[in-house]
Amino acid sequence: MRISMKVRNPKILKESIALNGDSYRSYANRIEISYGYLSQIINQKANASPRTAKKIANGIHMEISDIFFATGARKSKTATSSAQEPST
């Protein structure tokens, strides 16, 4: 299963970055992710990995859970095939 993190409220994230005195570009550089990826995360066009979500949250001195919630595809339970009994 792959876990990804989705932004809870883009407006709060945008305001937090601005209140920290950063532009999106300078913030992305400071936390060492690409500007394009940060923009996609903020605009909910991409989800962040847990590692990237932690970088974003730490950069604005917030908890991950204040900004993101976990999403991910669950592995489907596949039935194991078994030999069928012959019908009589």
Separation of alpha carbons 39 and 48, rounded Å = 11
Please say if the pLDDT value at position 77 is more than 70. Answer: no
Contact (CB, 8 A) for 24 and 38: yes
- Whether residue 79 is predicted with pLDDT greater than 50 in this model: the reply is no
pLDDT of res. 73: 57
pLDDT for position 41: 97
88 has pLDDT over 70: no
pLDDT tens digit string along 27-76? 999 999 999 999 999 999 999 999 999 999 999 999 999 999 999 755 54
In the DSSP assignment, the letter for residue 24 is H
The string of pLDDT tens digits covering residues 14-32 is 999 999 999 999 999 999 9
What's the CA gap between 66 and 12, in Å, rounded? Answer: 9
Q: How many CA atoms lie within 13 A of 3 on its CB side?
A: 8
